[in-house]
């Protein structure tokens, strides 16, 4: 099952996740909504006031899952500081395995956000999003090699709050039309 459609669009900036200062977050067009179990819940003004959950992991991985209300899609942006050879605009086929049983694959596009390049998966399926919420771990593979192993602790509560955030914004008249749509030194992308 394909997780994503190819697209250049990823709005907002992940740089706010890496910088703890509120002023940096405001510069990127995001606003704080709250926190749930270590996940930041924020609103990205540049994508129709789309709500998202974001978390930085101790190994340098950053994950952001949320709603692009301009395009009416669910998206995932993730990356790791060590993945410096990812090229903006280039497609990378990545496989996701939740708890060793639920498998998805798709072409993710390299996107430059702030000073880093991340992988962007847009138009996620509801099934992928549900597994992200309900499963406990995520293994990510590139060319058959495990490149990341993430705990999904508190994702159910975090994505639940993202949905609540989107519903509240939609009801406030501030946008968000409608409710949320339901091997190589740590751098596997180096040639």
State the Cα–Cα distance between residues 30 and 15, nearest whole angstrom: 10
Among left, alpha and beta (phi > 0; psi -120 to 50; other), residue 136 is: alpha
The model's pTM is 0.78
Q: What is the dihedral of CA 163, 112, 29, 168, to 10 degrees?
A: -10
Q: Check which CATH number belongs to the domain holding 133 and give it.
A: 2.60.40.1880
3, part of any domain = no
110, part of any domain = yes
82, part of any domain = yes
- Model confidence at 18, pLDDT cuts 50, 70, 90, reads very low
100, part of any domain = yes
The answer, yes or no, to whether residue 167 has pLDDT greater than 50, is yes
As a whole number, the mean pLDDT across the chain is 81
- Model confidence at 28, pLDDT cuts 50, 70, 90, reads low
The answer, yes or no, to whether residue 23 has pLDDT greater than 80, is no
67, part of any domain = yes
183, part of any domain = no
What does the pLDDT read at residue 81?
Answer: 85
9, part of any domain = no
Query: Could you give the number of structural domains in the chain?
Result: 1
What does the pLDDT read at residue 130?
Answer: 96
The answer, yes or no, to whether residue 124 has pLDDT greater than 80, is yes
99, part of any domain = yes
Stretch 101-121: mean pLDDT, rounded? 92
Are the C-beta atoms of residues 86 and 119 closer than 8 Å to each other? yes
Q: Which residue has the higher pLDDT, 17 or 64?
A: 64
State how far Cα 135 lies from the chain centre: 16
Domain boundaries, position 156: 15-172
Stretch 8-17: mean pLDDT, rounded? 35
């Amino acid at each position: 099952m394909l997780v994503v459609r190819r697209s250049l669009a990823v709005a907002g900036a992940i740089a706010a996740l890496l910088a703890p200062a509120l002023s940096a977050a405001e510069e990127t067009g995001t606003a704080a909504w709250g926190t749930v179990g270590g996940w930041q819940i924020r609103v990205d003004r540049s994508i129709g006031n789309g709500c998202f959950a974001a978390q930085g992991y101790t190994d340098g991985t950053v994950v952001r899952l949320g709603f692009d209300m301009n395009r009416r899609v669910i998206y995932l942006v993730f990356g790791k500081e060590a993945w410096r050879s990812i090229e903006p605009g280039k497609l990378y086929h990545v496989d996701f395995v939740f708890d060793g049983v639920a498998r998805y694959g798709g072409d993710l596009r390299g996107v430059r956000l702030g000073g880093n390049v991340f992988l962007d998966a847009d138009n996620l399926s509801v099934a992928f999003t549900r597994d992200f919420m309900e499963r406990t771990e995520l293994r990510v593979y590139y060319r058959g090699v495990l490149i990341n192993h993430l705990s999904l602790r508190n994702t159910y509560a975090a994505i639940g709050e993202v949905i609540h955030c989107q519903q509240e914004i939609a009801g406030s008249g501030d946008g968000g039309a409608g409710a949320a749509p339901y091997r190589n030194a740590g751098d596997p992308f180096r040639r």
